[in-house]
Amino acid sequence: MDGGSATRRQAVDEAMRLDGNAAAGILSEVFVPDLTTARAACASCGAIREVGALFVYAHGMGTVLRCPSCGAAVLRVARTRTRLWFDATGARLLVMTAAE
Amino acid sequence: MSTVSAPARPRAIAWRLASVAEVRAETVTTRTLVLDVPGWPGHRAGQHVDVRLTAEDGYQAQRSYSIASAPETPRLALTVERLEDGEVSPYLTDVLRPGDRLELRGPIGGYFVWDVTLGGPLLLVAGGSGIVPLMAMLRHRAAVLQHADARARHEVPARLLYSARRWDDVIYREELARLAEGDETLEVALTLTREAPRGWTGFRRRIDKMMLAEVAWPPAERPRAFVCGPTPLVEAVAAALVELGHDPARVKTERFGPTGGSA
Ligand SMILES: Cc1cc2nc3c(=O)[nH]c(=O)nc-3n(C[C@H](O)[C@H](O)[C@H](O)COP(=O)(O)OP(=O)(O)OC[C@H]3O[C@@H](n4cnc5c(N)ncnc54)[C@H](O)[C@@H]3O)c2cc1C
Ligand SMILES: [Zn+2]
């Protein structure tokens, strides 16, 4: 791949970037508490942020939530017609508010 | 062996069938859909819904739309900008008629929300259709404060900086003017980036650091900032606010995507 197309792809990706808050719908299929106000610790750099403040890249069926500090994928969630996939290997810890 | 009944399975935010009660033209390209949503549990200002369209062959397209109405009003309102080559928005703005059904789920997203109890000062920065969730905040603020005394209003002062291409692209233009007129603690500043009417004395450029320094409270006043609109605008504004010394934890962003509205 030449450098030019990689740069172009990165520019497109950046324009498509959303906030973690935009992933609240699909996350609500996995979690009962609202995950956008949960705190996530990035497993690669340790930065702690509200999930709503992560960067969201939604492509096709899958949504990737990345750490704004280091760019690592913290959470991935995807759905097919019959299954939900949730990958949290990039999160060292998730702390959410319990229901009363 | 005794059987233990399983606890009731907690339910995900449900998809519901809303019905369109009214379609209102806001600008040439934007429409407000006023919806009746049976079983709607109520929302907080700033939240959104996911809308899902299903084609006859089963193909589905899903998009997020912010809630424009205040929690205090009975009907849910969405305001959608038509993107000419868009998959979903032209259907919502041009095809839907009163009586039609629309599938949605919500309210979604507790991160980008504000209510009067969180206090102020409230700094709102919008580009294009990014005004929508911020309008819900202003409508909520007005509903709560309408019977309050001046002191209560002064505890939650609000300022809106709103970027649009042209005067005629300013969504909720009359309502914003009305709200600001009747409330000495609300200031509305517009910037028109493409074209301005004759005699225009407001800003005439994209939002930049100087403009923010002029409109916003100083960082020492610790305003809560909500920034919403097309992704490039949101990122530029959030970075400028942080450079000006605002606490990043008090600058919340809602990116609408590459085009999320003309600004
Ligand atoms: C949390 C949230 C709240 C939102 N609230 C509102 C709201 O209140 N009102 C509102 O009008 N919108 C809102 N949006 C935006 C909305 O969700 C849709 O993105 C918008 O309506 C466009 O959808 P569409 O299907 O019409 O266009 P799409 O078919 O998705 O295309 C959108 C435009 O982007 C371009 N595009 C698509 N893919 C790319 C790419 N890879 N690179 C560059 N350009 C591309 C297309 O050419 C087209 O012009 C919100 C978005 C989010 C995330
Ligand atoms: Zn990180």
Question: In the Cβ-directed half-sphere of A76, how many Cα atoms lie within 13 Å?
Answer: 11
d(CA B154, CA B151): 5
The verdict on a CB contact (< 8 Å) between B110 and A36 is: yes
Q: Provide the pLDDT for residue A5.
A: 72
- Which residue, B49, B76, B108, sits at the end of a domain? B108
Output the CA A83–ligand 1 centroid distance in Å. 26
In tens, the pLDDT along B201-226 reads 999 999 999 999 999 999 999 999 99
Question: Are residues B44 and B144 part of one domain?
Answer: no
In tens, the pLDDT along A27-63 reads 999 888 899 999 999 999 999 999 999 999 988 778 9
Question: Are residues B158 and B55 part of one domain?
Answer: no
Among protein residues, the one with the nearest Cα to ligand 1's atom 36 is: B258
Query: Is residue B121 pLDDT above 80, yes or no?
Result: yes
Atom of ligand 1 nearest to the CA of B68: 8
Asked if residue B228 is part of any domain, the answer here is: yes
Question: Are residues B83 and B128 part of one domain?
Answer: no
Chain B residues lying within 8 Å of A51, measured CB to CB: 111
Among protein residues, the one with the nearest Cα to ligand 1's atom 31 is: B86
Question: Are residues B180 and B104 part of one domain?
Answer: no
Cα separations in angstroms, B169 against A98, B25, B40, B84? 43, 12, 31, 15
- Which residue, B69, B85, B108, sits at the end of a domain? B108
Average pLDDT value for chain B: 93
Asked if residue B6 is part of any domain, the answer here is: no
Nearest to B88 by CA among B107, B60, B109: B60
Q: Provide the pLDDT for residue B150.
A: 86
Q: Residue B130: which CATH number? A: 3.40.50.80
**What average pLDDT does this structure show over A19-29?**
94
Asked if residue B170 is part of any domain, the answer here is: yes
What is the percent of chain A with per-residue pLDDT over 90, rounded to a whole number?
A: 65
Check residues B100 and B6 and name the one with the higher pLDDT: B100
Query: Is residue B64 pLDDT above 80, yes or no?
Result: yes
What is the percent of chain B with per-residue pLDDT over 70, rounded to a whole number?
A: 94
Q: Provide the pLDDT for residue B209.
A: 98
DSSP for A38-82, written as a single string:
SEEEETTT--EEEGGGSEEEEETTEEEEE-TTT--EEEEEEE-SS
Question: Are residues B135 and B232 part of one domain?
Answer: yes
The amino acid that residue B116 corresponds to is: V
d(CA B252, CA B112): 6
Helix B131-145 and helix B173-181: axis angle, to 10°? 30
Helix (H) or strand (E) holding B50: strand B48-54
Question: Are residues B95 and B136 part of one domain?
Answer: no
Asked if residue B2 is part of any domain, the answer here is: no
- Is some CB atom of chain A closer than 8 A to the CB atom of B66? no
Q: Which domain holds residue B84?
A: 15-108
Asked if residue B244 is part of any domain, the answer here is: yes
Query: Is residue B5 pLDDT above 90, yes or no?
Result: no
Question: Are residues B195 and B124 part of one domain?
Answer: yes
Output the CA A72–ligand 2 centroid distance in Å. 6
Asked if residue B202 is part of any domain, the answer here is: yes
Q: pTM, whole model, 2 decimals?
A: 0.92
Q: Are B87 and B59 in contact (CB under 8 A)?
A: no
Q: Are B238 and B123 in contact (CB under 8 A)?
A: no
**What average pLDDT does this structure show over B214-240?**
97
Q: Which of B9, B60, B66, B111 is the best mutation test for A, with the most CBs of A within 10 A?
A: B111
Question: Are residues B75 and B25 part of one domain?
Answer: yes
d(CA B247, CA B241): 8
Question: Are residues B190 and B248 part of one domain?
Answer: yes
Q: Provide the pLDDT for residue B11.
A: 60
**What average pLDDT does this structure show over B29-56?**
96
Nearest to B263 by CA among B228, B239, B218, B238: B228
**What average pLDDT does this structure show over B122-149?**
96
Query: Is residue B10 pLDDT above 80, yes or no?
Result: no
Question: Are residues B191 and B139 part of one domain?
Answer: yes
d(CA B190, CA B167): 9
Q: Provide the pLDDT for residue B9.
A: 46
Output the CA B229–ligand 1 centroid distance in Å. 11
Q: Provide the pLDDT for residue A1.
A: 44
The verdict on a CB contact (< 8 Å) between B111 and A19 is: yes
Nearest to A50 by CA among A16, A75, A76: A75
* Ligand sitting nearest the alpha carbon of A92: 2
The minimal CB distance from B110 to the residues A19, A25, A34 is found for A34
Question: Are residues B169 and B91 part of one domain?
Answer: no
- Is some CB atom of chain A closer than 8 A to the CB atom of B7? no
- Which residue, B108, B129, B153, sits at the end of a domain? B108
Q: Provide the pLDDT for residue A4.
A: 67
Asked if residue B8 is part of any domain, the answer here is: no
What is the count of structural domains for chain B?
Answer: 2
Q: Provide the pLDDT for residue A7.
A: 74
The verdict on a CB contact (< 8 Å) between B112 and A37 is: no
Output the CA B257–ligand 1 centroid distance in Å. 6
ipTM for the assembly:
0.84
Cα separations in angstroms, B70 against B47, B136, B188? 10, 5, 18
Q: Provide the pLDDT for residue A13.
A: 77
* Any atom of ligand 1 within 6 Å of the Cβ of A22: yes
Q: Report residue A15 as tokens.
A: 């324009």
- The pick from B49, B79, B83 for probing ligand 1's pocket by mutation, whose C-beta has the most ligand atoms within 8 angstroms, reads B83
Asked if residue B3 is part of any domain, the answer here is: no
Query: Is residue B260 pLDDT above 80, yes or no?
Result: no
Question: Are residues B65 and B47 part of one domain?
Answer: yes
Atom of ligand 1 nearest to the CA of B80: 11
Q: Which residue of A has its CA nearest to B236?
A: A15
The amino acid that residue B135 corresponds to is: M
Q: Residue B82: which CATH number? A: 2.40.30.10
